[in-house]
């Protein structure tokens, strides 16, 4: 039977893998996905953004939360004091910082990105309604469709920039976890 000490290294590796996975997936949304979305017609772009957001919202926070739970356990296990000191932080504090940065993406999303997310979801619903009504690409109200397309593209671009903040938090968590572990 494995002792608690035997579980420390596998838990650390699991936490690092999960937080690295969450960081990499999140970063790829801004660096790879958003530029491709901006090349698409607006209705397609909005649909693809909404689908990607839905899948990401179900997987990335869960992955980050499991990593954070592992970091918290590792911090508890490390105990006070001892170990490497980086910017005045010991191993325990580094693990706790890794946990906080990993789950910090949730409040960041609500506080910083929610307005942009809500507007993109609204525009996606409008685009779908127009598609069902057969008015896609028809300038029913003069320049309104053109303005909506420019606005939607600007919002997706802005979302990609804001998302870099979440990726940065996740990467910060990985770095704290790495320093604490090795």
pLDDT in tens, 29-74: 999 999 999 999 999 999 999 999 999 999 999 999 999 999 999 9
Domain total of the chain? 1
**pTM, full prediction:** 0.87
pLDDT confidence bin for 82, thresholds 50/70/90: low
Of 154, 150, 141, 128, the C-alpha closest to 44 is 128
Task: Judge whether residue 23 has pLDDT over 80.
Answer: yes
How many residues are recorded in the chain?
A: 182
pLDDT confidence bin for 87, thresholds 50/70/90: confident
Q: Is the dihedral of CA 19, 22, 25, 30 positive or negative?
A: negative
* Structural domain range at position 122: 4-181
Q: Are 50 and 98 in contact (CB under 8 A)?
A: no
pLDDT confidence bin for 5, thresholds 50/70/90: low
Of 83, 86, 73, 57, the C-alpha closest to 166 is 57
pLDDT confidence bin for 139, thresholds 50/70/90: low
């Amino acid at each position: 039977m494995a002792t608690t000490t035997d579980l420390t290294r596998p838990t650390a590796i699991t936490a690092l893998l999960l937080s690295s996975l969450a960081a990499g997936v999140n970063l790829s949304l801004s660096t790879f996905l958003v530029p491709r979305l901006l090349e698409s017609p607006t209705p397609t772009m909005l649909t693809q953004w909404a689908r990607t957001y839905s899948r990401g919202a179900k997987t990335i926070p869960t992955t980050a939360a499991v990593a954070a739970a592992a970091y918290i356990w590792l911090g508890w296990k490390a105990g006070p004091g001892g170990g490497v000191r980086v910017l005045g932080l010991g191993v325990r504090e580094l693990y706790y910082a890794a946990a906080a940065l990993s789950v910090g993406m949730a409040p960041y999303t609500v506080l910083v990105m929610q307005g942009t997310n809500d507007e993109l979801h609204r525009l996606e619903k409008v685009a779908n309604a127009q598609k069902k009504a057969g008015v896609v690409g028809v300038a029913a109200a003069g320049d309104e469709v053109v303005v909506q397309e420019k606005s939607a593209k600007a919002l997706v671009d802005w979302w990609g920039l804001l998302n870099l903040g979440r990726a940065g938090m996740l990467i910060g968590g990985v770095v704290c976890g790495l320093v604490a572990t090795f």
